[in-house]
Structure 1
Amino acid sequence: MAKTLTKGRRSITGQVYLITACTKNREPLFSNFNLARVVVNHMKKAQQRGDLNFVSWVIMPDHFHFLISLEGDSNLSDVIGYIKGTTSHQICKRLNRQGGIWQAGFHDHAIRNEENIIDVARYIVANPLRAGIVKSLKQYPHWDSIYL
């Protein structure tokens, strides 16, 4: 499955991408506040490295959605691989397990000019509401958007 996800994938500087990745077997690891914050911390490191800029994001119990702008001469697969690899290593160490935490690959969608980035950003951060996890985004700690 992961190989088919890379078919036609392009890394274009300044392009906005919607990225989705799931934990292995959809394990709800990020119901644990501290494990979700591991992902957030490594997201920030990737942005500080100049790989990307986050437009909107949400960490759900068993997956994440990122709306990012690829920066510099970064490669999309390398950037997401960095985030998934570093988080997997740290979380496995905390949980005293081996084998990683993520499903192979990730889904990406390049946002086209005619698509409304603000609508996509709002859709992303509203995931906890649609999933019935919270009744208000104020109750959910693992999201951010430059538009809200």
Structure 2
Amino acid sequence: MKRKNTYQSKNSLRLKGYDYSAEGVYFITILTKNRICHFGEVVNKKMNLSDAGKIVEMEWRKTEEIRKEVVLGNWIVMPEHFHALIAFKSKEEQDRNLTSVKAHGHALLQGKKSIAYKNTFGPQSRNLSALVRSFKATCTSKIRSQVNPNFAWHRSFHDRIVRNQKELINIENYIISNPARYVQQFSNT
């Protein structure tokens, strides 16, 4: 008789073996636990941030100052989730600490890149997961101490590696139009 594995592994949402610190643009979505609307509400197709939503906004704005290896693209705080485009600079740009990378938010998509893979184990620093982990931890701490002691994020986040200019433009438009398309379907508690 075969014994069932009683310990189910949590499957990673990340692309196995991919180097998420590599130069490139990533589209991320982070959800609140149980999709509870902690961050505000959409009124007349515009997002009105709650105090918790303002904390998320403030902490995301700090990301570029804290992490010199990234450039922020379009982003939006929604009632129960957060969307963002974030670009990791090339190692050379990080070394030179360039500030001109923001050229219309598209400078990092020049030319076709090969997929970068990295064979490492365990938590990493200076990559997409580490950045999101730090962002979520800081927001959680501040929201719990200042607004709602029961606040929590969903355990992980969704990402998409942006592969070309057309995809980038489509995602930018998706983010910008998110409040206009939003239909409340989740809890406010």
If you compute each CA radius of gyration, which structure gives the higher value, 1 or 2? Answer: 2
Would the aligned equivalents of 1:13 and 1:69 in 2 still touch at CA under 8 Å? no
Post-superposition, which runs of at least 4 consecutive aligned residues in structure 1 deviate over 4 A? Answer: none
User: Between Structure 1 and Structure 2, which shows a larger proportion of helix residues?
Assistant: 1
In 2, Cα distance between equivalents of 1:112 and 1:67 = 13
Gaps of 5+ in 1: 134-148
Amino acid at match of 1:29: H
In structure 1, the residue corresponding to 2:20 is in which secondary structure? coil
Q: CA deviation at 1:14?
A: 2.8
In 2, Cα distance between equivalents of 1:97 and 1:132 = 27
Amino acid at match of 2:23: G
Matching residue within 109, 130, 135 for 1:83: 135
- Paired residues in the alignment total 132
Identity value in percent: 30
Would the aligned equivalents of 1:57 and 1:67 in 2 still touch at CA under 8 Å? yes
Would the aligned equivalents of 1:13 and 1:74 in 2 still touch at CA under 8 Å? no
In structure 2, the residue corresponding to 1:93 is in which secondary structure? helix
Matching residue within 82, 89, 92 for 1:64: 82
In 2, Cα distance between equivalents of 1:51 and 1:34 = 29
Amino acid at match of 1:103: H
Q: CA deviation at 1:7?
A: 4.4
Q: Which residue of 1 aligns with 2:171?
A: 120
Q: CA deviation at 1:36?
A: 0.9
Greater alpha carbon shift after TM alignment, 58-67 vs 87-96: 87-96
TM-score, length basis structure 1: 0.78
Amino acid at match of 2:11: K
In 1, Cα distance between equivalents of 2:35 and 2:28 = 16
